[in-house]
């Protein structure tokens, strides 16, 4: 995979600036990109129980947490963008089971071995080092904990790098599987979910429709 120009500049700062700037619009933007079925696919893989700790990584304004906030588990919502989390906090102000933490994929602000489920939607294609982000997820999970990731299949819509600060043009199922296994995960599966991410370029003739995968793995 080739690193983009964005990566050669300061990817972390650029990505945070982008999401800080669009935080107030993210809920309406993301509705155009993908549907709630993506969240349902993630949540169908878990059974939250009292005492469980769930991490929503790259939580944004709470797309995944939305389906967990009235449940029995405690949620740690982590994002690089303080503005995204600020909007989420305002939306979910009546929920008392969410802990908001700003932090980066490479150094998650979470202790080792405490998380039951680590969930992330459309997170990995924005992080500078996806294999390292996966190793961090492994670190925070308890033994027996599960990671569930939804993200974009490999594609060639370059405009997403420039217009939406994507750092990666999706991922192949093989590379996702190998990164998860290399991090130590067992029972690794990467499958399509028959949902698509759709995005229009500022150029009228460019429109992306990208299939979405769901990747899971367990910490032994
Ligand atoms: C495409 S949005 C997805 C937000 C949310 N998961 C959703 O489904 O609506 C990607 C999110 O990941 C966050 N993010 C990007 N790079 C990150 C990093 N290196 N560490 C932590 N969060 C990051 C962004 O700030 C943004 O909120």
Q: Which of 13-27, 44-58, 135-149 has the lowest mean pLDDT?
A: 13-27
- Ligand 1 lined by 84 (C-beta under 6 Å): yes
User: How many angstroms separate the alpha carbon of residue 167 from the centre of ligand 1?
Assistant: 12
Indicate the DSSP class of residue 47.
-
pTM of the predicted model, to two decimals? Answer: 0.94
Q: What is the pLDDT of residues 117-141, one digit of tens each?
A: 999 999 999 999 999 999 999 999 9
When pLDDT is averaged across residues 21-44 and rounded to a whole number, the result is: 96
User: How many angstroms separate the alpha carbon of residue 142 from the centre of ligand 1?
Assistant: 23
* Structure tokens belonging to residue 130: 């996806």
- Ligand 1 lined by 74 (C-beta under 6 Å): no
Q: Classify residue 8 as exposed, middle or buried by CB count within 10 Å of its CB (0-12, 13-18, 19+).
A: exposed
Per-residue pLDDT at 87 exceeds 80: yes
Q: What percent of the chain has a predicted confidence (pLDDT) above 70?
A: 95
Q: What is the pLDDT of residue 10?
A: 60
Domains along the sequence of the chain with CATH: 5-103+111-202 (3.40.50.150)
When pLDDT is averaged across residues 139-149 and rounded to a whole number, the result is: 98
Q: What is the pLDDT of residues 190-206, one digit of tens each?
A: 999 999 999 989 888 88
Contact 190, 213 (CB under 8 A): yes
Q: What average pLDDT is seen over the chain?
A: 94
CB neighbourhood size of 157 (10 A): 20
């Amino acid at each position: 995979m080739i690193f983009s120009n964005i990566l050669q500049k300061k990817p972390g700062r650029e990505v945070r600036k982008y999401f800080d700037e669009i935080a107030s619009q993210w809920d309406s933007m993301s509705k155009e990109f993908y549907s709630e079925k993506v969240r349902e696919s993630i949540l169908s893989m878990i059974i939250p129980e009292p005492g469980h700790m769930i991490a929503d990584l790259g939580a944004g304004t709470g797309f995944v947490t939305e389906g967990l906030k009235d449940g029995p588990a405690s949620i740690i919502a982590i994002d690089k963008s303080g503005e995204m989390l600020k909007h989420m906090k305002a939306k979910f102000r009546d929920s008392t089971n969410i802990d908001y933490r700003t932090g980066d994929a490479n150094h998650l602000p979470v202790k080792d071995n405490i998380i039951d489920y680590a969930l992330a939607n459309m997170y990995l294609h924005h992080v500078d080092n996806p294999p390292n982000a996966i190793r961090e997820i492994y670190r925070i999970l308890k033994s027996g904990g599960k990671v569930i990731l939804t993200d974009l299949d490999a594609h060639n819509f370059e405009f997403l790098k420039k217009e939406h600060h994507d750092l990666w043009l999706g991922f192949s199922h093989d590379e996702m599987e190998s990164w998860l296994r290399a991090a130590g995960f067992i029972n690794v599966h990467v499958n399509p979910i028959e949902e698509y991410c759709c995005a229009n370029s500022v150029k009228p003739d460019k429109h992306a429709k990208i299939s979405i995968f769901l990747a899971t793995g367990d910490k032994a």
